[in-house]
């Protein structure tokens, strides 16, 4: 049940009204007989957007594509690179190999002399 209470009454008995709202009652606060706001029980808390990620993670949470407990995020552990060729080297090697295979196919099928 909703109860209407004036600001003066609310100020005089604020603790009582807060206790009643905490257990589920809705209190409508009035000023000069007109409703200006409501005192309602606290609902489930929505997590606030994490600041370090500029809202990107928050956008995924809002879209339902990620979940987040609302707890502070731990920093990711740094990735250590193993010795050997880097990704750029592997991509270059793959592209060069593909280019050679394509040129071989062109020269074999069309009998075009290689330059």
pLDDT digits (tens, 9 = 90+) for 96-115: 776 666 666 666 655 555 55
Q: How confident is the model at residue 93 (pLDDT cuts 50, 70, 90)?
A: confident
Tell me the pLDDT tens digit for each residue of 32-76: 999 999 998 887 766 565 555 556 777 787 788 887 777 777 777
The confidence score (pLDDT) of residue 78 equals 79
Quickly list H helices, 1-115: 7-12, 14-22, 56-62, 87-110
Supply the DSSP symbol for 42: -
The confidence score (pLDDT) of residue 6 equals 94
The model's pTM: 0.40
Asked if residues 6 and 31 have their Cβ atoms less than 8 Å apart, the reply is yes
Of 4, 48, 2, 10, whose CA–CA distance to 26 is shortest?
A: 2
The confidence score (pLDDT) of residue 36 equals 94
- Where b means 16+ CB within 10 Å and e means fewer, 39-63 reads beeeeeeeeeebeeeeeeebeebee
Asked if residues 43 and 22 have their Cβ atoms less than 8 Å apart, the reply is no
Cα-based torsion angle of the residue sequence 10, 11, 13, 19 in order, rounded to the nearest 10 degrees = 70
Which residue would you say has higher pLDDT here, 81 or 115?
81
The confidence score (pLDDT) of residue 4 equals 94
């Amino acid at each position: 049940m909703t109860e209407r209470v004036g600001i003066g009454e609310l100020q005089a008995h604020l603790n009582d009204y807060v206790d009643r709202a905490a257990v589920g009652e809705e209190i409508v606060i009035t000023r000069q007989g007109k409703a200006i706001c409501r005192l309602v029980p606290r609902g489930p808390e929505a997590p606030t957007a994490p600041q370090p990620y500029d809202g990107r993670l928050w956008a995924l949470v809002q879209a339902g594509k990620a979940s987040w407990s609302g707890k502070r995020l731990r920093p990711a552990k740094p990735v250590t690179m193993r010795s050997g060729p880097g990704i750029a080297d592997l991509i270059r090697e793959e592209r060069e190999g593909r280019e050679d295979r394509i040129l071989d196919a062109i020269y074999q099928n069309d009998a075009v002399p290689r330059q």
